[in-house]
Structure 1
């Protein structure tokens, strides 16, 4: 059974309801023509201080986008590299999405088994979201496993007037359970009060 996409609303709790499934949309086809070999920086060792990395052939990438329809750009035909607008700044009243991508998972019976941990920290360092062992992807892989695949969970942020302005930190640890490796990734974005 394919898990529903799971997005965390940063200033609240992790969303698991059917409403979130509809409002934040069904994930687009899970793979794209973006290859792990094409992604800049994927050959760097995993350090936990980068939004992209690789460990033992398993790659990960975090994209921060204001585009709620990023799935449409992701669902490109084979051989076409998707273009997704990215940002590192959001204002009160605006939305921002942290998309979790992974590539080259180890396969067992042609099936990937990837879980992830997600932590979102406010500018003062306090936790807004802390989730562990979320099912990211446990499905057969169609096509080359060297393509990037969109994980089922992600982070959806809506800047509200009560949210703390400043730099928010999103930490994601991807676990390739078939390979028994972990890949820590981190990205940040700034919530600005003015427009």
Structure 2
């Protein structure tokens, strides 16, 4: 990120052992409607989670009952941190068995100015030897720490997840308040 704030890209390509289906589903297998932070198109799905839980990685790597649970966060106080995570399901594989998913990441301050703006990041570019229908943690995510001097108000995070083999883009958006 081109900013002095504490933003860190997280390289976290760890598959979840529980299988998912080709669209977003609840715990009973019912299809969920698209929202601003979770979308599906042509069998490809992506979602974004904003959590204040510093144990999110432990929960991801060792889920209880096969499914990690993350408390959603909508606000942070000065000195506090949020973790912005992105997930995907069912990337189409190229002829060599590679997933080719790229992402754009944009963070907008309450006044509309950009805190970060990255394009064409490799968020899931890998040889996939597991079931593509599993839920995967994208490598595009970040830790956001609210620092002294950060403007109070609503910050917006936008991640566009692109399955380049399938030629599908899923624009995701979430927000949080610094107060």
What is the TM-score when the length of structure 1 is the normalising length? 0.78
State the shift of 1:150 in Å. Answer: 0.7
In 2: Cα distance, 1:181 partner to 1:94 partner = 35
In the TM superposition, residue 88 of structure 1 has moved relative to its aligned partner by: 1.1
Q: CA RMSD in A?
A: 2.7
2:82 counterpart residue number = 96
Could you tell me how far apart the structure 1 residues matched to 2:81 and 2:145 are? 4
Matched residue, 1:116: 103
Take 2:3 and 2:111, find their aligned partners in 1: how far apart are those partners? 14
**Matching residue of 1:107:** 93
The counterpart of 1:12, out of the listed 5, 23, 33, is 5
Q: Do residues 159 (structure 1) and 146 (structure 2) align?
A: yes
Q: Specify whether residues 131 and 74 from structure 1 end up closer, same or farther in structure 2 by C-alpha distance, changes over 3 A only.
A: same
1:101-134: CA deviation from partner (whole Å, max 9, x where unpaired) = 1111001232211000000000111111000000
Q: CA deviation at 1:165?
A: 0.6
Report if the CA contact (8 A) 1:32-1:76 is conserved.
Answer: no
Correspondence list, 1:122-137, <5 A: 122-137=109-124
Q: Is the Cα–Cα contact under 8 Å of residues 102 and 149 in structure 1 kept in the other structure?
A: yes
Q: Does the alignment pair 1:74 with 2:60?
A: yes
Q: What is the CA–CA distance in structure 1 between the aligned matches of 2:17 and 2:84, rounded to whole Å?
A: 17
Does residue 177 in structure 1 map to residue 164 in structure 2?
Answer: yes
The 8 Å contact of residues 35 and 147 in structure 1, kept in 2 or not, is answered as yes
Pairs aligned (count) = 174
Structure 1 residue 34: Cα displacement: 5.8
Normalized against structure 2, the TM-score is what? 0.85
SS of alignment partner, residue 73 of structure 2: coil
SS in 1 for 2:165: coil
User: Of 28, 31, 49, which aligns to 2:16?
Assistant: 31
